[in-house]
Amino acid sequence: MASSSHPSAPCAACKFLRRKCIQGCVFSPYFPPEDPTKFTNVHKIFGASNVSKLLNEIAPHQREDAVNSLAYEAEARLKDPVYGCVGAISVLQRQVLRLQKELDATNADLIRFSSNQNILRPPQVSGSSIQNPHVLPTSDYYGIYSPWNYNP
Amino acid sequence: MASSSNSPCAGCKFLRRKCQPECVFAPYFPPDQPQKFANVHKVFGASNVTKLLNELHPGQREDAVNSLAYEADMRLRDPVYGCVGVISLLQHQLRQLQMDLTYAKTELSKYQNHNLSGTTAQGLMAAAAAATATHHQTLGNNLISCCGGGVTRDHLYHHNPPFFSARDQQTSVLRAFDVSNNYDTAAGVLAMNISSSGIGQHSQFQQPRATAAGTDDRPATINPS
């Protein structure tokens, strides 16, 4: 992921910003000159100075993942300016809830099948939504910050 | 939702400028929610948000602002992965659910297709218990700790390669982000799970195209609580 070893080749960010790519440029390890679109997208959505501030607040070993996630979000926002990658989150949440309900129903059928036979005592089932960890946890992290009811 | 004529919107208050009647922020950043604008400004910047809103139809701007606010909030909570961490987690949950469901349905069909004996009834009980308990305790602990303390790679990726460990995974994730296809189908779920073992390579979720309000393609209001 390091930029070109050629000393005079600026990284994609400095090339875009038309500035000298100095030794220790915060962008250069993550925005190689061979992939100009990556920085263009990130700059368009987040802005170079915001990205720079964010990277400076993150440990160096985590910066590559951070840049890649920003690039992903930026591309998603450019493809869908209204919802960005949050649209995908919403779809996935719906799928999780749907499958959870289906699993609960299937488990209920299994239990019903067995209790109808009246052979064994029905088991203590821990498949309820409250206990089942497949349901999205109700901590603040998800419970309050649902995309469409944002109210900090 | 527009600010009153005397009260600047949260955007203008933050930026310490006069809130004009035609202020693009005013309808979406009311003065009683200052944190919303502060977060969006910190992650995206006011001018980027202005440009983005100006490119949208007025009817779409509220949803756009709410999604930006959500993204900004996730990014501030998890500066490394932001919303992408949430997506990874949901995909992981989906895969686990799919496996559990497949197992439960297989067990159910076995007992539906055979005459029950005493032996098979015991197996039925075991199947029901297993379908609810398999991996759940470990996964539950991981989810709770993920959500309480932020998403970490170890929690998400103990069975799978890291989301961003290779450029190829990122490329496949981005390539799969196809707004022209509707992900919201059972086939889409199954396709996502059958494809491969890496989390990054599972990202074949496809985003519904944004349509006029009131259609099924709009993301639903989610209230996990």
H helical segments located in B25-178:
34-43, 46-54, 58-77, 82-113, 118-133, 136-149, 153-156, 167-176
Q: What pLDDT tens digit does each residue of chain A (152 aa) get?
A: 444 444 568 999 999 999 999 998 999 999 999 999 999 999 999 999 999 999 999 999 999 999 999 999 999 999 999 999 999 999 999 999 999 999 999 999 988 887 776 555 444 444 444 444 443 333 333 333 455 544 44
Mutation pick from B101, B134, B189 vs chain A, by most beta carbons of A within 10 Å, is B101
- Tens digit of pLDDT for each residue in B27-63? 999 999 999 999 999 999 999 999 999 999 999 999 9
Say yes or no: A65 contacts chain B, CB-CB below 8 A.
yes
Q: Is B203 helix (H, G, I), strand (E, B) or coil?
A: coil
> CA of B160, closest CA in chain A: separation in Å?
16
- Of A135, A89, A109, A139, whose CA–CA distance to B97 is shortest? A135
The pLDDT score that the predictor gives to residue B113 is 76
- Tens digit of pLDDT for each residue in A75-88? 999 999 999 999 99
The token pair at B139 is: 């996964």
- Of A49, A93, A42, whose CA–CA distance to A72 is shortest? A42
> CA of B55, closest CA in chain A: separation in Å?
9
Closest partner CB to A65 (pick from B36, B80, B132): B80
The token pair at B31 is: 């003065």
- In chain B, which residue's Cα lies nearest the Cα of A49? B45
B222 and A76 within 8 Å at the Cβ level: the answer is: no
Where chain B has pLDDT below 70, the residues are: 1-6, 114-225
Q: With contact defined as beta carbons under 8 Å apart, do B203 and B172 qualify?
A: yes
Find where tokens 């259609």 sit. B215
Angle between the B34-43 and B58-77 helix axes, to the nearest 10 degrees? Answer: 80
What does the alpha-carbon distance between residue B29 and residue B17 come to, in Å, rounded to a whole number? Answer: 14
Cα B176-B98-A145 angle, rounded to 5 deg = 70
Q: What is the ipTM of this complex?
A: 0.75
What does the alpha-carbon distance between residue B29 and residue B24 come to, in Å, rounded to a whole number? Answer: 9
The pLDDT score that the predictor gives to residue B109 is 87
> CA of B3, closest CA in chain A: separation in Å?
16
Q: With contact defined as beta carbons under 8 Å apart, do A127 and A102 qualify?
A: no
- In chain A, which residue's Cα lies nearest the Cα of B225? A138
Q: What is the 3-state secondary structure (H, E, C) of A70-138?
A: HHHHHHHHHHCCCCCCHHHHHHHHHHHHHHHHHHHHHHHHHHHHHHHHCCCCCCCCCCCCCCCCCCCCC
A75-to-A53, A137, B224 alpha-carbon distances in Å: 20, 28, 27
What does the alpha-carbon distance between residue B22 and residue A116 come to, in Å, rounded to a whole number? Answer: 67
Task: Note the residue count of chain B.
Answer: 225
Contacts of B93 (CB under 8 A, 6+ apart): A96, A134, B139, B143
Q: What are phi and psi of B56, to 5 degrees?
A: -105, 155
What does the alpha-carbon distance between residue A68 and residue A53 come to, in Å, rounded to a whole number? Answer: 16
Q: Which helix (H) or strand (E) holds B209?
A: none
Q: What are phi and psi of B51, to 5 degrees?
A: -60, -45
Find where tokens 């993920």 sit. B146
A72 and B220 within 8 Å at the Cβ level: the answer is: no
Say yes or no: A34 contacts chain B, CB-CB below 8 A.
no
What does the alpha-carbon distance between residue B82 and residue B39 come to, in Å, rounded to a whole number? Answer: 13
